[in-house]
Amino acid sequence: MGTFEELVAEGAAVPLEGWDFSWFEGRATEERPPWGYASLVAARLAEVGSALDLQTGGGEVTASAPVLPPLMAATESWPPNAAVAAKNLPFVVRAPDAGPLPFRASAFDLVISRHPVVTPWQEVARVLKPGGTYFSQQIGEGTNRELTEFMMGPQPRGDARGTSRARAEAEAAGLEVLRLEPVSLRVAFFDVGAVVHFLRKVLWTVPGFTVERYRDRLLAMHEHIQAHGEFACTSARFLVEARKPARPSA
Protein backbone atom coordinates (compact mmCIF):
# COMPACT_ATOMS: atom_id res chain seq x y z
CA MET A 1 0.00 0.00 0.00
CA GLY A 2 1.50 3.31 -1.07
CA THR A 3 1.14 6.72 0.45
CA PHE A 4 -1.90 8.87 -0.27
CA GLU A 5 0.00 10.89 -2.88
CA GLU A 6 1.42 7.78 -4.56
CA LEU A 7 -1.95 6.08 -4.79
CA VAL A 8 -3.70 9.18 -6.13
CA ALA A 9 -0.96 9.70 -8.73
CA GLU A 10 -1.24 6.07 -9.81
CA GLY A 11 -5.00 6.23 -10.21
CA ALA A 12 -4.72 9.49 -12.13
CA ALA A 13 -2.21 8.04 -14.60
CA VAL A 14 -4.15 4.97 -15.79
CA PRO A 15 -5.33 5.30 -19.43
CA LEU A 16 -9.11 5.58 -19.84
CA GLU A 17 -9.57 4.15 -23.34
CA GLY A 18 -11.78 1.10 -23.73
CA TRP A 19 -14.17 -0.46 -21.26
CA ASP A 20 -11.80 -2.96 -19.66
CA PHE A 21 -11.81 -3.00 -15.84
CA SER A 22 -9.00 -5.53 -15.35
CA TRP A 23 -6.78 -2.85 -13.77
CA PHE A 24 -9.00 -3.00 -10.68
CA GLU A 25 -8.02 -6.61 -9.95
CA GLY A 26 -7.12 -6.78 -6.25
CA ARG A 27 -7.97 -3.10 -5.75
CA ALA A 28 -11.76 -3.11 -6.07
CA THR A 29 -14.54 -5.67 -6.44
CA GLU A 30 -18.09 -5.60 -7.72
CA GLU A 31 -20.58 -8.42 -7.54
CA ARG A 32 -21.71 -9.66 -10.94
CA PRO A 33 -25.40 -9.80 -11.88
CA PRO A 34 -26.76 -13.35 -11.74
CA TRP A 35 -27.92 -13.52 -15.36
CA GLY A 36 -24.50 -13.44 -17.12
CA TYR A 37 -25.04 -10.72 -19.70
CA ALA A 38 -22.10 -11.58 -21.97
CA SER A 39 -23.22 -15.20 -22.32
CA LEU A 40 -26.82 -14.19 -22.99
CA VAL A 41 -25.70 -11.72 -25.65
CA ALA A 42 -23.40 -14.27 -27.28
CA ALA A 43 -26.28 -16.74 -27.60
CA ARG A 44 -28.50 -14.12 -29.21
CA LEU A 45 -25.80 -12.91 -31.61
CA ALA A 46 -25.34 -16.46 -32.88
CA GLU A 47 -29.03 -16.67 -33.82
CA VAL A 48 -29.57 -13.47 -35.86
CA GLY A 49 -28.52 -12.15 -39.23
CA SER A 50 -28.00 -8.54 -38.14
CA ALA A 51 -27.21 -6.78 -34.88
CA LEU A 52 -26.34 -3.33 -33.57
CA ASP A 53 -24.33 -2.69 -30.39
CA LEU A 54 -25.15 0.79 -29.05
CA GLN A 55 -22.55 2.72 -27.04
CA THR A 56 -20.16 -0.21 -27.32
CA GLY A 57 -17.27 1.34 -25.39
CA GLY A 58 -14.22 -0.52 -26.66
CA GLY A 59 -16.36 -3.29 -28.10
CA GLU A 60 -14.94 -5.81 -25.65
CA VAL A 61 -18.18 -7.56 -24.63
CA THR A 62 -19.50 -8.03 -28.16
CA ALA A 63 -16.07 -9.06 -29.47
CA SER A 64 -15.96 -11.82 -26.86
CA ALA A 65 -18.90 -13.61 -28.53
CA PRO A 66 -17.74 -16.74 -30.39
CA VAL A 67 -20.02 -16.00 -33.36
CA LEU A 68 -21.06 -12.62 -34.76
CA PRO A 69 -23.89 -12.19 -37.28
CA PRO A 70 -23.10 -11.42 -40.92
CA LEU A 71 -24.09 -7.80 -40.32
CA MET A 72 -22.58 -6.57 -37.04
CA ALA A 73 -22.52 -2.81 -36.46
CA ALA A 74 -21.72 -0.73 -33.39
CA THR A 75 -21.85 2.90 -32.30
CA GLU A 76 -19.62 4.83 -29.91
CA SER A 77 -19.57 8.56 -29.21
CA TRP A 78 -16.21 8.98 -27.42
CA PRO A 79 -13.33 9.06 -29.94
CA PRO A 80 -10.75 7.16 -27.82
CA ASN A 81 -13.23 4.34 -27.22
CA ALA A 82 -14.32 4.35 -30.86
CA ALA A 83 -10.70 3.80 -31.89
CA VAL A 84 -10.43 0.79 -29.58
CA ALA A 85 -13.76 -0.59 -30.74
CA ALA A 86 -12.71 -0.32 -34.39
CA LYS A 87 -9.94 -2.81 -33.63
CA ASN A 88 -12.34 -5.24 -31.96
CA LEU A 89 -15.43 -5.10 -34.17
CA PRO A 90 -15.99 -5.14 -37.94
CA PHE A 91 -17.98 -1.91 -38.32
CA VAL A 92 -18.04 0.96 -35.82
CA VAL A 93 -19.50 4.41 -36.42
CA ARG A 94 -19.43 7.59 -34.37
CA ALA A 95 -22.94 8.51 -33.26
CA PRO A 96 -24.37 10.60 -30.40
CA ASP A 97 -25.58 8.55 -27.45
CA ALA A 98 -29.07 10.06 -27.57
CA GLY A 99 -29.40 9.63 -31.34
CA PRO A 100 -30.19 9.99 -34.12
CA LEU A 101 -28.73 6.70 -35.28
CA PRO A 102 -27.17 6.64 -38.77
CA PHE A 103 -29.03 3.53 -39.93
CA ARG A 104 -32.12 2.93 -42.02
CA ALA A 105 -35.40 1.86 -40.45
CA SER A 106 -35.95 -1.85 -39.76
CA ALA A 107 -32.26 -2.64 -40.32
CA PHE A 108 -31.51 -4.97 -37.40
CA ASP A 109 -32.85 -8.17 -35.88
CA LEU A 110 -31.20 -7.37 -32.56
CA VAL A 111 -30.05 -4.21 -30.78
CA ILE A 112 -27.87 -4.64 -27.69
CA SER A 113 -26.29 -2.24 -25.23
CA ARG A 114 -24.31 -2.73 -22.03
CA HIS A 115 -24.49 0.19 -19.58
CA PRO A 116 -25.73 2.85 -22.01
CA VAL A 117 -25.45 6.45 -20.90
CA VAL A 118 -28.95 6.99 -22.28
CA THR A 119 -31.31 4.74 -24.21
CA PRO A 120 -32.73 6.37 -27.37
CA TRP A 121 -35.89 4.27 -27.26
CA GLN A 122 -37.56 5.83 -30.28
CA GLU A 123 -34.45 5.25 -32.39
CA VAL A 124 -34.11 1.70 -31.09
CA ALA A 125 -37.67 0.99 -32.17
CA ARG A 126 -37.06 2.61 -35.57
CA VAL A 127 -33.98 0.55 -36.49
CA LEU A 128 -35.37 -2.76 -35.22
CA LYS A 129 -37.04 -5.06 -37.72
CA PRO A 130 -40.62 -6.07 -36.89
CA GLY A 131 -40.28 -8.92 -34.40
CA GLY A 132 -36.75 -7.79 -33.50
CA THR A 133 -35.55 -7.36 -29.91
CA TYR A 134 -33.62 -4.92 -27.78
CA PHE A 135 -31.49 -6.57 -25.08
CA SER A 136 -29.57 -4.48 -22.57
CA GLN A 137 -27.92 -4.49 -19.16
CA GLN A 138 -28.37 -1.05 -17.63
CA ILE A 139 -27.15 0.94 -14.67
CA GLY A 140 -29.99 1.38 -12.20
CA GLU A 141 -31.07 4.36 -10.14
CA GLY A 142 -28.93 5.05 -7.07
CA THR A 143 -25.85 3.19 -8.31
CA ASN A 144 -22.86 3.95 -6.08
CA ARG A 145 -24.87 6.64 -4.32
CA GLU A 146 -22.74 6.17 -1.20
CA LEU A 147 -19.60 7.05 -3.19
CA THR A 148 -21.25 10.02 -4.90
CA GLU A 149 -22.47 11.44 -1.61
CA PHE A 150 -19.17 10.80 0.20
CA MET A 151 -17.50 12.98 -2.43
CA MET A 152 -20.25 15.55 -3.09
CA GLY A 153 -22.56 15.53 -0.09
CA PRO A 154 -26.30 14.66 -0.16
CA GLN A 155 -27.80 14.54 -3.66
CA PRO A 156 -31.41 14.76 -4.85
CA ARG A 157 -33.16 11.47 -5.56
CA GLY A 158 -34.65 10.74 -8.95
CA ASP A 159 -35.94 8.00 -11.22
CA ALA A 160 -34.14 8.81 -14.47
CA ARG A 161 -32.46 5.39 -14.41
CA GLY A 162 -35.29 3.51 -12.74
CA THR A 163 -36.97 0.41 -14.10
CA SER A 164 -40.37 2.13 -14.13
CA ARG A 165 -38.99 4.86 -16.39
CA ALA A 166 -37.39 2.26 -18.68
CA ARG A 167 -40.66 0.38 -19.05
CA ALA A 168 -42.66 3.54 -19.71
CA GLU A 169 -40.23 4.83 -22.35
CA ALA A 170 -39.95 1.44 -24.07
CA GLU A 171 -43.73 1.13 -24.28
CA ALA A 172 -44.07 4.73 -25.45
CA ALA A 173 -41.76 3.82 -28.34
CA GLY A 174 -44.07 0.96 -29.27
CA LEU A 175 -42.02 -1.87 -27.81
CA GLU A 176 -43.31 -4.75 -25.71
CA VAL A 177 -41.26 -5.31 -22.56
CA LEU A 178 -40.58 -9.02 -22.17
CA ARG A 179 -38.16 -8.95 -19.25
CA LEU A 180 -37.23 -6.31 -16.69
CA GLU A 181 -35.10 -7.68 -13.86
CA PRO A 182 -33.33 -5.48 -11.27
CA VAL A 183 -30.57 -6.47 -8.85
CA SER A 184 -28.48 -4.77 -6.14
CA LEU A 185 -24.76 -5.58 -5.99
CA ARG A 186 -22.01 -4.92 -3.46
CA VAL A 187 -19.03 -2.80 -4.53
CA ALA A 188 -15.84 -2.32 -2.49
CA PHE A 189 -12.75 -0.17 -3.08
CA PHE A 190 -9.54 -1.18 -1.29
CA ASP A 191 -7.39 1.89 -1.98
CA VAL A 192 -7.91 5.50 -2.94
CA GLY A 193 -6.08 5.02 -6.24
CA ALA A 194 -8.85 2.68 -7.36
CA VAL A 195 -11.41 5.33 -6.40
CA VAL A 196 -9.57 7.95 -8.45
CA HIS A 197 -9.41 5.76 -11.54
CA PHE A 198 -13.06 4.75 -11.18
CA LEU A 199 -14.25 8.35 -10.89
CA ARG A 200 -12.19 9.32 -13.95
CA LYS A 201 -13.59 6.43 -15.95
CA VAL A 202 -17.23 6.35 -14.81
CA LEU A 203 -17.83 10.06 -15.23
CA TRP A 204 -21.44 10.23 -14.10
CA THR A 205 -20.61 9.08 -10.55
CA VAL A 206 -19.12 12.47 -9.63
CA PRO A 207 -19.74 14.87 -12.54
CA GLY A 208 -16.79 17.18 -13.14
CA PHE A 209 -14.45 15.09 -11.00
CA THR A 210 -10.78 16.06 -10.91
CA VAL A 211 -8.15 15.12 -8.37
CA GLU A 212 -7.44 18.78 -7.66
CA ARG A 213 -11.07 19.69 -7.06
CA TYR A 214 -11.73 16.73 -4.74
CA ARG A 215 -8.35 16.33 -3.04
CA ASP A 216 -9.76 16.93 0.45
CA ARG A 217 -12.48 14.31 -0.01
CA LEU A 218 -9.97 11.88 -1.50
CA LEU A 219 -7.82 12.29 1.59
CA ALA A 220 -10.88 11.56 3.73
CA MET A 221 -11.53 8.50 1.57
CA HIS A 222 -7.94 7.34 2.04
CA GLU A 223 -8.29 7.68 5.81
CA HIS A 224 -11.62 5.81 5.74
CA ILE A 225 -10.10 2.89 3.82
CA GLN A 226 -7.10 2.78 6.14
CA ALA A 227 -9.43 2.61 9.13
CA HIS A 228 -11.98 0.14 7.71
CA GLY A 229 -10.05 -1.80 5.07
CA GLU A 230 -12.41 -0.76 2.27
CA PHE A 231 -15.05 1.68 1.12
CA ALA A 232 -18.27 -0.20 0.37
CA CYS A 233 -21.23 0.94 -1.69
CA THR A 234 -24.09 -0.52 -3.69
CA SER A 235 -24.46 -0.84 -7.44
CA ALA A 236 -27.85 -1.23 -9.13
CA ARG A 237 -28.26 -3.07 -12.44
CA PHE A 238 -31.23 -4.21 -14.45
CA LEU A 239 -31.70 -6.41 -17.46
CA VAL A 240 -34.27 -5.30 -20.01
CA GLU A 241 -35.53 -7.14 -23.06
CA ALA A 242 -38.12 -5.55 -25.33
CA ARG A 243 -39.59 -6.65 -28.66
CA LYS A 244 -40.88 -4.68 -31.62
CA PRO A 245 -44.28 -6.07 -32.62
CA ALA A 246 -44.22 -8.21 -35.75
CA ARG A 247 -47.16 -6.21 -37.11
CA PRO A 248 -48.34 -2.68 -36.35
CA SER A 249 -51.10 -2.60 -33.76
CA ALA A 250 -54.57 -1.99 -35.17
CATH of 4-243, one of 3.40.50.150, 3.10.20.740, 3.40.50.2300, 3.80.10.10: 3.40.50.150
Q: Rg of the Cα trace of the chain? A: 19
Strand stretches in 12-127, DSSP E: 28-30, 50-53, 71-76, 92-94, 108-114
**Total count of residues recorded for the chain:** 250
Report H helices in the chain.
Answer: 4-13, 37-45, 60-63, 79-88, 121-127, 145-152, 163-172, 192-201, 215-228
Cβ neighbors of 37 (< 8 A, separation 6 or more) are 61, 114, 137, 239
Q: Give the largest Cα separation in the chain, rounded.
A: 67
Q: What is the pLDDT of residue 21?
A: 80
**Residue-level pLDDT at 249:** 53
Q: Any idea where the domains of the chain sit in the sequence?
A: 4-243
Quote the CA–CA distance of 152 and 173 in Å, as a whole number: 35
Provide the CB-side half-sphere exposure for 84 (13 A, CA). 20
At 229 the pLDDT is 97
- Look at residue 22 in the predicted model and tell me its pLDDT: 85
DSSP 176: E
**Could you give phi then psi for residue 218, rounded to 5 degrees?**
-65, -40
Q: What value, to the nearest 5°, has the Cα angle with vertex 78 and ends 75 and 79? A: 95
Q: Is the dihedral of CA 9, 10, 11, 17 positive or negative?
A: positive
Q: What pLDDT digit, counting tens, does each position of 155-180 carry?
A: 998 888 899 999 999 999 999 999 99
Q: What is the mean pLDDT of the chain?
A: 95
Could you say which residues of the chain have pLDDT below 70? 1, 19, 248-250
pLDDT at residue 20, rounded to an integer:
73
User: What does the pLDDT read at residue 248?
Assistant: 61
What is the distance between the terminal CA atoms of the chain, rounded to a whole angstrom?
65
Q: Report the alpha-carbon angle 38-42-45, nearest 5.
A: 135
What's the CA dihedral at 88, 104, 43, 34 to 10 degrees? 90
In 3-state terms, what secondary structure has residue 140?
coil
Q: What is the pLDDT of residue 183?
A: 98
pLDDT of amino acid 1: 67
Contacts of 203 (CB under 8 A, 6+ apart): 209
pLDDT at 163: 96
- The three-state secondary structure class of 203 is coil
pLDDT on residue 16: 85
